[in-house]
Amino acid sequence: MALKYVDEYRDGELAKNLIVSINALDTGNLRLMEVCGTHTMSIFRHGIRSVLPDTIKLLSGPGCPVCVTAQQDIDAFVDLSMQDNVILTTFGDLIKVPGTFSSLQKEKAAGRDIRIIYSVFDALDISEANPKMKVVFCGVGFETTTPTVAASILMAEKRGIDNFFVHSAHKLTPPALAALMQTSGVDINGFILPGHVSVITGIHGYRDVFEKYRIPSVIAGFEPVDILKAIFMLAKQNQSGIPSLENGYERAVSEDGNTKAREIMNQVFQTSDTIWRGIGEIPQSGMKLKTTYNRFNALEKFHIELRDSPEPAGCACGQILMGLKTPEDCSMYGRKCTPAHPVGPCMVSSEGSCAAHYRYKG
Domain ranges across the chain: 66-172+257-302
- Options 3.50.50.60, 3.40.50.11740, 3.30.499.10, 3.30.160.620; CATH for 66-172+257-302 is 3.40.50.11740
Average pLDDT over the chain, rounded to whole?
Answer: 94
| Nearest partner of 277 among 156, 169, 155, judged by Cα | 169
pLDDT of residue 175: 97
Decide: helix, strand or coil at residue 342: coil
| Nearest partner of 233 among 201, 244, 222, judged by Cα | 244
Task: Return the amino acid letter for 253.
Answer: V
Question: Please, are residues 181 and 153 in contact by the beta-carbon 8 Å criterion?
Answer: no
**Res 4 pLDDT > 90:** no
Distance of CA 232 to the CA centre of its chain: 24
| Nearest partner of 88 among 54, 138, 41, 47, judged by Cα | 138
Q: Name the pLDDT band for 12 (thresholds 50, 70, 90).
A: confident
Task: Return the amino acid letter for 200.
Answer: I
pLDDT in tens, 64-80: 999 999 999 999 999 99
Question: Please, are residues 256 and 247 in contact by the beta-carbon 8 Å criterion?
Answer: no
- Per-residue pLDDT, averaged over 220-230, amounts to 96
Burial (CB < 10 A; 0-12, 13-18, 19+), residue 111, is exposed
pLDDT of residue 278: 85
**What separation in angstroms does the CA of 70 have from each of 51, 188, 274, 312?**
34, 23, 9, 11
Percent of the chain with pLDDT over 90: 89
**Res 138 pLDDT > 80:** yes
Percent of the chain with pLDDT over 70: 98
Q: Name the pLDDT band for 1 (thresholds 50, 70, 90).
A: very low
Distance of CA 21 to the CA centre of its chain: 30
